[in-house]
Structure 1
């Protein structure tokens, strides 16, 4: 889905030619809150406020009939009480505005940003209020329709927005950053929603090559190359499918020769569970089991677009997990790239196998300063945290604190889970160094502990997005389905580093 152009202009609202003007308003605000609107518009605003048809409560919208020649339409959106406005409430208000605009045939939109200059902001809010308002609007705007044979008018979305102009800001919104963030989110959602027969591991590798810029060095390993590396855990998962597995390695060097941060994203392009077959109900959603890998591809695209001064290696192990004559069986033992042997208890605990080998690959080839893995790893994550937060585990407290700050800034929230040493007992095997599953109790944290074994002494954080990458009910700025979660979180994390806001040294736990 294409991103509209975004720009700032110094015109007042009543002077701009646009299909629609978006006017944010505080609850019980006076007309003087919009001194840049011109006399005709202020007169209409006064009439609407006096009638009680619009009060400015949070998320309320009202389409104002326009009698003047420009703009063509005016949409009021309520922000609620001024002292209660936050970045997240601005995103939600923007989403409500986009839902109303979706009913209109418009190609251009102007946003009257002057009223938002009054907001003080908070320490985690590093962008302008208009940025957050438009972020919510544009996240809500996303639609997927790749496999339709025709393009009938969508009754829920008649809006084909081509341009957005921001008016009256004292500090201009970073339009470039906003465009990059939305583009990356749309890319991730496109990939996650693509049916598995249209997105094999080879297709995902091609998508990665098409997405990233020329300053990203990309290498794709095929089955033979993966075997030469000795990635037995990864190949064990892949052996049940005819689809060629791929290890996608993307290297971004924006800060010279320093050690990179490795970001590993699980990409099971379809997960049937293998021989440990999943129930048929809901299995069609298992195309989403590559959401972690998609987030890494989106991140690398964004880093390339923004030219951030950081070094990042994105590694995406991609395969299907299917039953077949050659499929991995419960009771089998595989040898991982690290040399550790792994007893297979459940072939449906496959994500940790491919992520473990990818983490070892990162350590051997790049000696990273830190590793972050992101994966739709456990159903237990959804049970523990619902669809509201990412489960986070790791061996480095400062790294986790930085991710918590990024989560607060983007509202892609993370919640730290413990990695007690006693969890090792869950994973003891009688026939191998470790087993890949230890039963239902504590399965969320046991999966994290399994991965910790492969981080060794490298600072590492695990992000389980199983509950948040796909949602079953609408949220304010996400429709049902893929959310693209992770890419905004990770991009904000690296922007912190780029800005030099955080101490680069890590603290071990």
Structure 2
């Protein structure tokens, strides 16, 4: 959708729809109060009151949208309010609407402008690609009336729209069906992204994976007719800024393999490549924002299927690092493909490695749909991610990664085993991954509980893929830009 920022006051603009954001502890303008009955508009967060000024004010409709107490307003309050505004504009079928805040901004114009653009873009999103009767009506154009702060808000709104579009790109990928979004499809998508944005992209196919020894990815993918891919996207060059490696789990469909999953909800397993989708989306945003960093996006793509050629419980897999894995459960496949990707990232001698994966059901039990599980070997990197999570509302919660959890992944007959049992499963999975990152600062983000929602918990979400990780990673990377400036 289109988002613009203009100077001028909201109540002076003639439009089909004006949206006034207001706090419950700030007085509405007298001209608006006259249009309301007592108790109609309290300012409670997300409360909507639609008014028809009938010539008293220049707009046809005025939507009052509550923001809660002024002291509690955050960037995410604005994101959600902007999402509710665009959804109401879609419902009313207006081509353009104006939106503004009543009173003094409780946030800087830059923060407000970015949050407005993100919420508007994300709130307008619906995945309708395969609906033959979908309406082709255009998404409304949103215009932020920022008063005298317009100039400061323009740049940040543009930035917000770039980031939100990258997140919706990730949503599209994770919402896509497994018969279309295959490892080869992800590889082709990366190549097209590179051509469009000037990224250096390498896609390794099965013969190249065999030649170079990517035993983890090959093992997981060997049961499928859709052959695996290993994808590397590189923005910038070493020395341009700190090198940050982002590694995404790209299981384009996960049946569980020979250790097959129950039929119920298996259809959702098209989203098991949400970590890969987040990496692809982040690389798009990094290139469009032209961040002065060296960012390497790595995607480990395979389809986990049962067949006569599938890998089995009891198999021993030799990974790219040379370390061996005893397979106890073929449904613990994500960590096996990530083993190759994480080891590969070491060749860039990065300042940080961050992996994203829908890795464990255990993290869903522990944290539900509200937080990403964070584990790693470097507290400074963990603190950066925690701060980025608070800024973006893609919150992370740190769990311990003591030696006992790593020891739980040792095998009697190989270097490692791919499951450590029922208890502490999210952490033991991270303990497994820790064996492949060397001494480089590393953080693991388990997004299994947050990558997909059946019942949205925020106004800018819709059922299905959330695009989680894109806004978080861009905020993290921006922190490296500011530190190196």
TM-score, with structure 2 as normaliser: 0.94
> Would the aligned equivalents of 1:27 and 1:57 in 2 still touch at CA under 8 Å?
yes
**Within-5 A mapping of 1:197-346:** 197-212=179-194, 213-253=196-236, 256-257=239-240, 260-346=243-329
- Per the TM alignment, residue 344 of structure 1 is displaced from its structure 2 partner at its CA by 0.4
Structure 1 102/467 Cα, relative in aligned 2: closer, same or farther at 3 Å?
same
> Would the aligned equivalents of 2:182 and 2:252 in 1 still touch at CA under 8 Å?
yes
1:21 and 1:242 mapped to 2: Cα distance?
53
- Per the TM alignment, residue 159 of structure 1 is displaced from its structure 2 partner at its CA by 7.1
Residue 94 (structure 1) aligned with residue 94 (structure 2): no
- Per the TM alignment, residue 336 of structure 1 is displaced from its structure 2 partner at its CA by 0.6
1:70 and 1:208 mapped to 2: Cα distance?
48
The match for 1:54 among 33, 37, 41 is 41
After superposition, the C-alpha distances for 1:189-226 in whole angstroms (9 at most, x for unaligned) are 11110100111111112222334543311111101111
Residue 175 (structure 1) aligned with residue 157 (structure 2): yes
What does residue 416 of structure 1 align with?
398
Residue 107 (structure 1) aligned with residue 86 (structure 2): no
Q: Which runs of 5+ in 2 are unaligned?
A: none
1:406 and 1:65 mapped to 2: Cα distance?
41
- Per the TM alignment, residue 98 of structure 1 is displaced from its structure 2 partner at its CA by 3.4
What does residue 383 of structure 2 align with?
401
Q: Which runs of 5+ in 1 are unaligned?
A: 33-41, 503-509
**Within-5 A mapping of 1:444-459:** 444-459=426-441
CA-based RMSD of the aligned residues comes to 2.1
Residue 352 (structure 1) aligned with residue 332 (structure 2): no
> Would the aligned equivalents of 2:240 and 2:292 in 1 still touch at CA under 8 Å?
no
What does residue 161 of structure 1 align with?
140
**Within-5 A mapping of 1:123-162:** 127-152=110-135, 160-162=139-141
Aligned length: 479
Structure 1 48/390 Cα, relative in aligned 2: closer, same or farther at 3 Å?
same
What does residue 85 of structure 1 align with?
73
What does residue 35 of structure 1 align with?
none
The match for 2:2 among 1, 5, 12 is 5
- Tell me which moved more, 392-401 or 60-69: 60-69
1:309 and 1:462 mapped to 2: Cα distance?
24
1:182 and 1:259 mapped to 2: Cα distance?
24
- Per the TM alignment, residue 327 of structure 1 is displaced from its structure 2 partner at its CA by 0.4
SS at match of 1:103: helix
Structure 1 136/427 Cα, relative in aligned 2: closer, same or farther at 3 Å?
same
- Tell me which moved more, 129-138 or 69-78: 129-138
- Per the TM alignment, residue 242 of structure 1 is displaced from its structure 2 partner at its CA by 0.9
Structure 1 428/31 Cα, relative in aligned 2: closer, same or farther at 3 Å?
closer
Structure 1 111/289 Cα, relative in aligned 2: closer, same or farther at 3 Å?
same
Structure 1 80/159 Cα, relative in aligned 2: closer, same or farther at 3 Å?
farther
What does residue 371 of structure 2 align with?
389
Structure 1 402/492 Cα, relative in aligned 2: closer, same or farther at 3 Å?
same
TM-score, with structure 1 as normaliser: 0.89
Residue 480 (structure 1) aligned with residue 466 (structure 2): no
> Would the aligned equivalents of 2:113 and 2:160 in 1 still touch at CA under 8 Å?
no
